[in-house]
Structure 1
Amino acid sequence: MERIQVMVCAGTGCTIGNSGELIELFKEEIHSIGLQDEVSVLKTGCLGLCGFGPNICIYPDNIIYKSVKPEDVKEIVMEHFYKGRPVTRLMLNESDEVSKEILDINHTKFYEKQKRIALHNCGVIDPENVEEYIGKDGYAALGKALTEMSPQEVVDEIKASGLRGRGGGGFPTGVKWQAALNQPGDEKYVICNADEGDPGAFMDRSILEGNPHSILEAMAIAGYAIGAHHGYIYIRAEYPIAVERLETAISQAKELGLLGDNIFGTGFDFDLEIRLGAGAFVCGEETALIQSIQGERGMPIPKPPFPAERGVWGKPTIINNVETYANLTQIILNGADWFKSIGTETSPGTKVFALGGKITNTGLVEVPMGTTLREIIYEIGGGCPNRKEFKAVQTGGPSGGCLTEEQLDTPIGFDELIKLGSMMGSGGMIVLDEDNCMVDVARFYMDFIVDESCGKCTPCRVGTKRLLEILEKICNGEGTLDLLDELETLSHTIKDTALCGLGQSAPNPVLSTLEHFKDEYIAHVVDKKCPAGICKALLEYKVNPEKCRKCGLCARQCPVSAISGAVGKETYHIDMEKCIKCGNCIKACHFEAIERK
């Protein structure tokens, strides 16, 4: 048994940062000083600190080294592995001051309030080694379900746990399974929705990259519970690492008899296949996903009937997203009461969030339901960088809404966020600071929705396009107060009449920004000003004569010769008729003489 394990993050973010090269360098350096029998180097899943990658975790010390470069490898090996002195300069430091303190990662602000259930093996095992998964109780839940529980008992356990779908809707998982179990016939299907399309969301991808066997095991349990013998994992082709590890996991499980015929000798057969999606956001909607699996264009169809009654190939089908499945094995092993003891009464368990935007600790976090937004943003996330003021947080992706400073003490839960005009969604959480224009934020999300609308229903196809046109007029200085009224009225109309969840929730970013940041909209349409200085059409550049040193640096950087003056003699002036508002002059001026208003 090795005395040290070096776990190198091999998630997408760290892989792009050449973590694969680090693995080879560590092995070479360890071998060169004869420590190959004492130190092992393995790839693992996401460690959470995505903004600081590539990251490595050292066990049993529980120390994380962040932003590791190839030139750091020799120092880590010699100082830490050979001499026993951790390299403090590479460790996670949550203070503005240089700290010599060596912290177990579980006692850092980033980790101490987290509780990993869905992410329980990410960063701990090699995701491409089924033996490591089995060593962490892997497939024990499937064995328990098949040998100790009836299908109804499995469904009852999931219902008793209160597990709600983590894909955005928050529908009780056990209720969905019960509906499928009650359907007659022995041809049923299980689907994993891995079509993670929200901008800035990477929760499901990280689970699949770091712990793929947990999804296979959970889907087999779901198949047993409802009487299905075949499953599909619907995943977007833009996730090549996740796809590759799923393929490896399926192959390994079949070799060991954990998938396929007569699993554990119980007579239960279950097999899986992967279906690649083209990245359409609308295919996250379950009926559109089913259409895509069947080889048709991914477009929603009216409900009822629901998939549990008539799904893929017209047969009873249950669809759950990756994170929902990732909770299942732990519920079967530890019991419904254990799961319900975490979180809140109406939202048991934990939730994984992809924390991004204007935040110090960009990354993946998993916290118990009931944790407040303030705890996530300021304690786990470290607040806004560069001492900027927090402005809003967008939860739920394009379908969610923006919440303000006054709402940060809200405990996170499905129902609580909906009451505030936002939603949990799949778990995207984008932090915005004082430099963000909320009108422009609404325009960004509406531009995404227009691009991703399948076009089947008029409210979504035409209505969202009209919303985008109004927002663009406002950002371009062509807005009026009448347009603001039209923007709000049209948003409510789309919510009430669109066919599917995508269209019904599409206006949420508009409505929430109108409610909480009406003053910014007024400034755009009445004063023709963008308070955040983002909307180019409303910007004006001026040279402050008291600060101008007449050096001419700004003029030399202007690509359209919009700045005139004489070096050492004349204060410079910006011709706004020529100015293209590129901002080069502000970057060039060392004296803060150019003001943007």
Structure 2
Amino acid sequence: MAEQISNNPLKPLTQWVNLQQPLSFDDYCQAGGYQGAKVALQHSPKEVLDIVKNSGLKGRGGAGFPTGMKWSFVPMFEEGDEDAPDNKYLVANADEMEPGTFKDRLLLEGVPHQLVEAMIIAAYTIGANKAYIFLRGEYHLAAKRLQQAIDQAYQNNWLGEKIQGSAYSIDLYVHCSAGRYICGEETALINALEGKRAIPRAKPPFPQVSGLFGKPTIVNNVETLCNLPHILKNGIEWFQAIAPNSDAGSKIYGACGRVKNPGLWELPMGPTLREVLYDYAGGMQDGLQFRGLLPGGASTDFLVEEHLDTPMDFDSIAKVGSRLGTGGLIVLDDKNCPVAMVLNLMRFFAQESCGWCTPCRDGTPWAVEVLTRIEQGRGKIQDLDTLAKLCDFMWIGKTHCALAPGAVEPLRSALKYFHDDFLQHIEHGCCHYNPSMTAKRTHVSQTHSSQSIKSPLSPKAGQ
């Protein structure tokens, strides 16, 4: 198998992916695996940190924060320092539950040794001797393959005591999530890993100072980590030369919806939305027209036709009013109702709210109620003002974490770009995407016309 493997410098993350039968330890090494970890062990942790910083690697989980800078917030201590903590931790966030996103699964199932090697490099750099892969509970095949790769790494002294004859020791564990979207937030993930209720923590202190079990902890996305072996093996200049813009390296982009070729593609960072949608996803299915898309999973703002020539990098997408997020396109066509699509997403977020803060706990189900009323043809024009106020009520700085602000991004942008669709539901009690529902919606509207719809935040009767 290894003899058939060729290195692709433009697709470092996916060049060895084999979903049918991932590379064994021997084949992975023969293909060039664990060379990055060898380079890391030949340098001091400080030197490796500088390499990662200077590479320009940014987080691929959604935030786009510089990876080396994030690591630099972990307190560094000299050997024998009495103030040094007795342990630090590294956690790979593999709890991939963002709707429309499935890039990490490709890496977890297709080349598990790559993540194992990456975690060795990251843990060595920050001085952690224990590391965890926090895995989405439904990823059963990934759990099996990761454990096989970990076992092989232990057998070949890449994990365990004094790996490869060095003074460094590391243990690596797979932890399967119980299944909550909120665990994508790093401090909620840490609480879950400790066996506690999965709710985000107040910051500060940040995990880099006080994280898992109160010790310094780094939480990185799977795709972010998987860049490390290639940066260490091939160098900073190679990594920066992959992309033609300020965001170095490659990125795994995806597309789902009614496109001809839904899937995943590793590309140099910065292809335009149009290139991903038409050149790779094949454009819309026959008989359908493009209306809009969410560029980075469910918790990003809609972009429309006028934005299709925008490069898919962090800064460019932000300039047109959305976020790169996970890089997974959710595509809306002209035969699907944007009101129904936003309602479907908001139901997901309302279900996944941890319930800790009032704006999210009460705001998301309230938005579901108002959207349901509109979608069923029972809405009023005032409901649009209510939805706009809810978007402000749940915006950044007003909630305990980023779940609620992310939940309203598709809603607030849909109100902007698909305003006429909302009016169609309100003024005509129907949806022109499905005319056969007109009579039914009119009947529903008449049935509920005399009923009072209360929101979770409405005053109780008599108050």
TM-score, L = length of structure 1: 0.70
The correspondence of residues 380-419 of structure 1 with structure 2, limited to 5 A, is 380-419=280-319
Task: Determine what percentage of the aligned residue pairs are the same residue.
Answer: 43
Q: Using a 3 Å threshold, how does the CA distance of structure 1 residues 379 and 437 change in structure 2: closer, same or farther?
A: same
Letter in 2 for 1:309: V
The correspondence of residues 6-85 of structure 1 with structure 2, limited to 5 A, is none
| 1:186 to partner: Cα distance | 4.6
Cα distance between partner residues in 2 of 1:187 and 1:525? 58
Asked if the contact 1:283/1:292 (under 8 Å) is kept, the reply is yes
Match of 2:37 in 1: 142
Which structure's CA Rg is the greater one? 1
Match of 2:73 in 1: 179
Cα distance between partner residues in 2 of 1:395 and 1:279? 24
Q: 1:235 aligns with which of 111, 114, 135?
A: 135
| 1:311 to partner: Cα distance | 0.6
Asked if the contact 1:358/1:430 (under 8 Å) is kept, the reply is no
Q: Which moved more, 1:339-348 or 1:256-265?
A: 339-348
Asked if the contact 2:252/2:327 (under 8 Å) is kept, the reply is yes
| 1:462 to partner: Cα distance | 0.3
Match of 2:389 in 1: 489
2:433 is equivalent to residue 539 of structure 1 = no
Asked if the contact 1:421/1:508 (under 8 Å) is kept, the reply is no
Q: 1:195 aligns with which of 83, 91, 95?
A: 95
Match of 1:501 in 2: 402
Match of 2:360 in 1: 460
CA deviations 1:135-161 (Å, max 9, x no partner) are: 1111111111102x1111111111111
Cα distance between partner residues in 1 of 2:355 and 2:181? 12
Q: 1:352 aligns with which of 205, 229, 252?
A: 252
Match of 2:457 in 1: none
Cα distance between partner residues in 1 of 2:172 and 2:99? 28
Asked if the contact 1:179/1:308 (under 8 Å) is kept, the reply is yes
CA deviations 1:370-428 (Å, max 9, x no partner) are: 20000011111110111311111112222112111111100011122233332222232
| 1:2 to partner: Cα distance | 11
Match of 2:420 in 1: 519
| 1:368 to partner: Cα distance | 1.4
CA deviations 1:478-535 (Å, max 9, x no partner) are: 112211011011101201311111122210010111111111112111233313228x
CA deviations 1:347-381 (Å, max 9, x no partner) are: 22121123111111111111112200000111111
CA RMSD of aligned residues (A): 2.2
Letter in 1 for 2:60: R
Letter in 2 for 1:156: D
Letter in 1 for 2:293: V
- SS of equivalent to 1:133: helix
Cα distance between partner residues in 2 of 1:219 and 1:251? 14
Q: Which moved more, 1:329-338 or 1:283-292?
A: 329-338
Structure 2, gaps ≥5 residues long: 78-83, 445-463
- Higher relative contact order structure (alpha carbons within 8 Å, sequence separation ≥ 6): 2
Aligned positions, number: 435
The correspondence of residues 538-557 of structure 1 with structure 2, limited to 5 A, is 539-540=438-439
Cα distance between partner residues in 1 of 2:313 and 2:23? 34
| 1:341 to partner: Cα distance | 1.7
Match of 1:548 in 2: none
- SS of equivalent to 1:264: helix
Asked if the contact 1:350/1:367 (under 8 Å) is kept, the reply is yes
- SS of equivalent to 2:100: coil
CA deviations 1:198-233 (Å, max 9, x no partner) are: 123211111010111111111111111111111000
Asked if the contact 1:351/1:367 (under 8 Å) is kept, the reply is yes
Letter in 2 for 1:119: T
Cα distance between partner residues in 2 of 1:268 and 1:421? 45
Structure 1, gaps ≥5 residues long: 6-58, 61-105, 107-113, 542-575, 579-597
Cα distance between partner residues in 1 of 2:75 and 2:233? 21
CA deviations 1:556-588 (Å, max 9, x no partner) are: xxxxxxxxxxxxxxxxxxxx869xxxxxxxxxx
The correspondence of residues 243-282 of structure 1 with structure 2, limited to 5 A, is 243-282=143-182
Q: Using a 3 Å threshold, how does the CA distance of structure 1 residues 439 and 124 change in structure 2: closer, same or farther?
A: closer
Cα distance between partner residues in 1 of 2:175 and 2:96? 14
Asked if the contact 1:198/1:428 (under 8 Å) is kept, the reply is no
Match of 1:170 in 2: 64
Higher strand share: 1
Match of 1:120 in 2: 15
Letter in 1 for 2:50: D
Letter in 2 for 1:192: A
Cα distance between partner residues in 1 of 2:439 and 2:10? 48
- SS of equivalent to 2:74: helix
- SS of equivalent to 1:403: coil
Cα distance between partner residues in 1 of 2:326 and 2:61? 4
Cα distance between partner residues in 2 of 1:165 and 1:380? 24
Q: 1:448 aligns with which of 327, 337, 348?
A: 348
| 1:117 to partner: Cα distance | 2.4
Cα distance between partner residues in 2 of 1:222 and 1:391? 42
2:24 is equivalent to residue 129 of structure 1 = yes
Cα distance between partner residues in 2 of 1:193 and 1:303? 19
Asked if the contact 2:292/2:331 (under 8 Å) is kept, the reply is yes
Cα distance between partner residues in 1 of 2:213 and 2:304? 45
CA deviations 1:312-346 (Å, max 9, x no partner) are: 00000011011001111111111112111222544
Match of 2:201 in 1: 301
Letter in 1 for 2:92: C
Asked if the contact 2:391/2:408 (under 8 Å) is kept, the reply is yes
